[in-house]
Amino acid sequence: MQLYIMRHGQADPMGNIDHLRELTPVGYKEAQCMGKWFNDQAVVFDKVLMSPYARAQQTAKTLLIELNDSVKPETLDFITPLDNAKQVHDFIDGICGVSEIEHLLIVSHMPLVSYLVAELTLEHQSPIFQTAAIAHINYDVEKMAGSLVKLISPADLV
């Protein structure tokens, strides 16, 4: 399975309530840029999971519009900034056990996205994500672990 872990686009730093912070115009452009990158890679998602926080929801939906993808993103309450990477790993293994998924996208936040890469890969590295950056993991559902293929951000594409 090809697993993509994405940090949301640039968000308004001035929001008083963290879960309500929205994308800035730059954040929307970052999400569009990464949607174009997925188009160039001919990636079609079987499942998209997103944090309930506004900036992650906006990132996922903007990216999917750019892809013209008909997949309906699902909100997971346990993929917010300080949630548990092991719990998310267990959830991924659970859904892979009951359905065939070739391409899965998770849109969340730092530091969780960094911890997820460490949790899900054999290398156990925790990369730092720029806004709208994506970690591509080649995930072996039998071994319940994978290898980091690349970490790419909008800055890498300009």
80-114 confidence digits (pLDDT tens): 999 999 999 999 999 987 888 999 999 999 999 99
Contact, 59 vs 31, CB < 8 A?
Answer: yes
pTM for the model stands at 0.96
Q: How confident is the model at residue 122 (pLDDT cuts 50, 70, 90)?
A: very high
Tens of pLDDT, residue by residue over 46-85, are 999 999 999 999 999 999 999 887 899 999 999 999 999 9
Averaged pLDDT for residues 135-139: 97
Interatomic CA distance for residues 115 and 128, integer angstroms: 10
Nearest-CA neighbor of 43 among 147, 136, 148, 156?
Answer: 136
Q: Give the pLDDT of residue 75.
A: 98
From the list 112, 122, 108, the residue with the least C-alpha distance to 51 is 108
How many C-beta atoms surround the C-beta of residue 98 within 10 A? Answer: 7
Half-sphere exposure of residue 30, counting CA atoms within 13 Å on the CB side? Answer: 26
CB 58 within 8 A of CB 31: yes
